[in-house]
Structure 1
């Protein structure tokens, strides 16, 4: 059933930058690799866990580079929805998303540093497990909220 309108979820060349859409895909991939990494370590698959968490960090770095490039070149994206939604939904979501993204960085770096420089036996003598749990939780919430913000900015309003 066609309404005569173009599919609004599709990105079309010439209709704004592709970076936000690419970053949404990168975020979804990061959610997948973080979740798979947590499952792998719970199953005792250390090598797979290391690979997945390193991949998650690479996706995070790619997201950050693309995001900062877009903001530097085009500036921040304005929320065009209703003022009440902006005030009571979008801005609180954005605040929590940014706060969690900032807070998780030291935990992510610590877990990555310990995980990449210590043997499996040595890791048990560190706080890698605790930092990793905090990092993964905050990372997942932040990435998920980022996708919700993306949807509000580019698809819902």
Structure 2
């Protein structure tokens, strides 16, 4: 199975990326009907942004710890932390998409000048980096799953992993900034 995956890392990355982005854009654009999902109580829907901010903060910690682990040569720990980060990302995305399908995107309620010159640029960069990170994350995870650890340094895993981690860190950080502007400051 590893050899089969190894021979199709690019195709699997593309497929997973397309499916993920289709779900995201489907939810944001209202193409996923609410009736397909179970209805959560209002308190759960209201708690999701706060839970996602905590998940994002934890993901930042696990990414940084994973980078530190690989620099120290602790590959087992690095793998655990990166898989944990991916799990946190999946949880974040599931909660986010569920809330967007059930409630729609959250409107910015702060001053119009802040919305135009701060909120939209931060949100735009956050979204762009998240979109760019998705295929890199899948690619790195698929390489890690399909090659023995001893061979990973001979693949694009180290280089792509650095790029994925950087994009993920900035995107998660900007996501917390967006959260603060939507739910804490205004």
TM-score by length of 1: 0.89
Computed over aligned residues only, the root mean square deviation of the Cα atoms, in angstroms, reads: 1.4
Mean Cα deviation higher: 109-118 or 129-138: 109-118
The Cα of 1:125 is off from its aligned counterpart by 1.4
- Where in structure 2 are there 5+ consecutive unaligned residues? 1-41
Over 3 Å counting, the alpha-carbon distance change for 1:15 and 1:55 in structure 2 is closer
Whole-angstrom distance in 1 between the partners of 2:111 and 2:75: 48
- Is residue 2:129 matched to residue 1:100? yes
Contact 2:136 2:164 in 1 (8 A): yes
Deviation for aligned residue 1:84? 0.1
Name the structure 1 match of 2:171: 142
Q: CA deviation at 1:122?
A: 1.1
Moved over 3 A (4+): 13-16
Shift of 1:110: 0.7
**Cα pair distance change 1:15/1:119, threshold 3 Å:** closer
CA distance in 1, matches of 2:159, 2:106: 36
Kindly indicate whether the alpha-carbon contact (under 8 Å) linking 2:45 and 2:99 is maintained by their aligned counterparts in 1.
Answer: no
Please give the residue correspondences for 1:69-148 in structure 2 after superposition, counting only pairs within 5 Å.
Answer: 69-148=98-177
Tell me whether 127-136 or 117-126 shows the greater mean CA deviation. 117-126
Matched, 1:64 2:86: no
Report the number of matched residues: 145
Q: How far is the alpha carbon of 1:124 from its aligned partner?
A: 1.4
Q: 1:140 to 1:126 in 2, by over 3 A?
A: same
Measure, in 2, the Cα distance between the counterparts of 1:34 and 1:145: 15
* Aligned position for 1:9: none
